[in-house]
Amino acid sequence: MAVSPIPVSQPTLRHAQPRDVPELFRLINHWADQKQMLPKSLHHLFKAVRDFWVVEEADQVLGCGSLRIYNGELAEIASLAIDPTAQGRGFGRMLVDQCIEEARTLGLKRVFGLTYQVDFFVKLGFRVIPMDDLPEKVWRDCVDCPFLDACNETAVLINVPDAAP
């Protein structure tokens, strides 16, 4: 008797939809509880849902990340979160690569992140920079952050390859 192989589901990378917000909330706030990122409210996530990408497998959202545009040249990869059960499967890289590709198609020249996972970003071609090199971030977001005077995230930056003119 021949044994049928178990179908393997392939991960899908897609723009987030409003129906994904509860899963974004779960993923991001799981890592916020671990002190690895700032928490996000459902209200914030619904407002920003169009900035998010998700990795989905077998109808389950296993990762998310967003591209937040600051100006005509600069964007941030934010709220990058992978389900603990899906760590090490390349989903973080997929999301970062997609955000950089989106930045490229929009003609942006630089993408940054604030992270505790410095080695991950360095492996993807980012370089560590001083936070002072990102006044756009500091004045837009950090000024209202509860950790402003005790921030221990590291700023990383990559120049977008072949950004459209």
Q: pTM of the full predicted structure?
A: 0.87
Interval 75-133: pLDDT, tens = 999 999 999 999 999 999 999 999 999 999 999 999 999 998 999 999 999 999 998 88
Residue-range definition of the domain harbouring residue 37: 12-159
- For residue 145, being part of any structural domain is answered with yes
Mean pLDDT, rounded, for 58-68: 96
Domain count, the chain: 1
The residues near 87 (Cβ < 8 Å, ≥ 6 apart) are none
Q: Is residue 7 included in any domain, yes or no?
A: no
Q: Is 36 helix (H, G, I), strand (E, B) or coil?
A: coil
The answer to the question of residue 6 being in a domain is no
Residue type, 110: R
pLDDT at 161: 85
| % of the chain at pLDDT higher than 90 | 72
Q: What is the pLDDT of residue 48?
A: 97
| Residue 63: pLDDT over 70 | yes
Say which CATH number the domain at 148 has: 3.40.630.30
What one-character DSSP code corresponds to residue 20? G
- Distance CA(138)–CA(76), nearest Å, equals 12
**Which distant-in-sequence residues (6+ apart) come within 8 Å of 90 by Cβ?**
none
**CA 151 to CA 143: how far, in whole Å?**
11
